[in-house]
Structure 1
Amino acid sequence: MGILYALLIGALAGWLAGKIMKGGGFGLLLNIILGIVGGIVGNWLFGALGVHIGSGIIGHLITGVIGAVVILFIAGLFKK
């Protein structure tokens, strides 16, 4: 059940990050995949910085969105 939860939160985070990064998205499917990876990156990034957003769905979603925005930004640099 934990993997399904992570995939759903990551997919939603990727979709939201695609909306936030106007013009920086790669389409719905790739944004969702990048959102899942972004959730991992967000957890690592906040852990390395010692920042704790919160727990539960909202905390995980915010972490995933921020991580996905970072991934979309970096991927956008290579897109050009």
Structure 2
Amino acid sequence: MNLILFLIIGGVAGWLAGLIMKGRGFGVLANIGIGVVGSLLGGFMFSLLGLSSHGTIGALVTATVGAVVLLWVVGVIKKKA
């Protein structure tokens, strides 16, 4: 059950990150994948900063922040290539 919730939160975070980063999205399915990876990145970044989040909303915020950062990095790399 936790895996399903993780995928749902990651998918919503990727969708939100695609909306936040106008013009930086890569389509619905790719943004969902970026959201799942971004949730891992967000958790890592928050732990480095000493921040923590609790509950579903906290997980969604963490995942969205990670997905936005990931979309930004991918956009920079894609622009240079």
TM range (shorter): over 0.9
Deviation at 1:30, TM superposition (A): 0.4
Instruction: Report the equivalent of 1:57.
Output: 56
Query: What TM-score results when the alignment is normalised by the length of structure 2?
Result: 0.94
Amino acid at match of 1:43: G
Instruction: Report the equivalent of 2:10.
Output: 10
**Which structure 1 residue ranges, 5 or more long, are not aligned?**
none
Distance 1:44 1:3 in 2: 18
Deviation at 1:31, TM superposition (A): 0.5
**Which structure 2 residue ranges, 5 or more long, are not aligned?**
none
Query: What TM-score results when the alignment is normalised by the length of structure 1?
Result: 0.95
State the identity %.
Answer: 51
Deviation at 1:48, TM superposition (A): 1.1
Distance 1:61 1:79 in 2: 26
Q: How many residues align?
A: 79
